[in-house]
Amino acid sequence: MMRHIVAGLALAAGALAASAADFDLGRLMDLLKNQKGGKATFQETKHIAMLDRPVETTGELLFTPPDRLEKRSTGLNAERMVVERETVSLERGGRKQVLTLRDNPQVAVFVESIRGTLAGDRAALEKTYRLVLEGDAQNWRLVLTPRDPQLTRVVARIAITGAQAQVRRVEIEQADGDRSVMHVTPVGP
């Protein structure tokens, strides 16, 4: 009897290990790539060294594959950022600013980490970052570290966590010690 229980546990452990082993960067990118876009709410906390308190923002994220990302912050820090292809539009306090990612690599490093992950675009991510995936399909963590030494002066690393094809958290550690953590909650199916 005990031998059957041990054998059953060994089989179950082997199945779990095989399942975790089957989950790799290619599988994660396939899951993300097959999403049709979506809408989510977010709560972001920015820890900035020169401020006494963290800056809290909430709002909505909209992603339309392959390259349109919109972030709408509400409340005191209300702003709207729309990234479409190579153009970034920022609206805050009735003022609008338009810039290109090509001319602003410091902005591009942040935008492309999120947009590339949501699109499941491994090639785009690997062009800019070294990628390390931890966990399994139900609880994964993708760590992005910039390849270009110039960019490491801006961002130390970005860690994106999720479950299946859903991004749940984005943590950005800047080279100067500032840090932001965004919790993402999908809206709808």
Residue 108 lies in a domain: yes
Per-residue pLDDT tens digits of the chain, which is 189 residues long: 544 444 444 444 443 443 456 899 999 999 999 988 899 999 999 999 999 999 999 999 999 998 999 999 998 879 999 999 999 999 998 899 999 999 988 888 889 899 999 999 999 999 999 999 999 999 999 999 999 998 899 999 999 999 999 999 999 999 999 999 999 999 975
* Number of domain units in the chain: 1
Residue 179 lies in a domain: yes
Residue 16: C-alpha distances to residues 25, 93, 112, 118, 125 (Å): 18, 52, 33, 27, 29
Residue 57 lies in a domain: yes
Please, where are the H alpha helices in 24-172? 25-33, 105-119, 122-128
Residue 142 lies in a domain: yes
* Nearest-angstrom CA–CA distance, 142 and 25: 9
Residue 15 lies in a domain: no
Dihedral angle at the C-alpha atoms of 105, 82, 122, 17, nearest 10 degrees? 120
CATH number, domain containing residue 64: 2.50.20.10
Residue 96 lies in a domain: yes
Cross-strand partners of 45:
56, 181
Q: Domain residues for 163?
A: 27-187
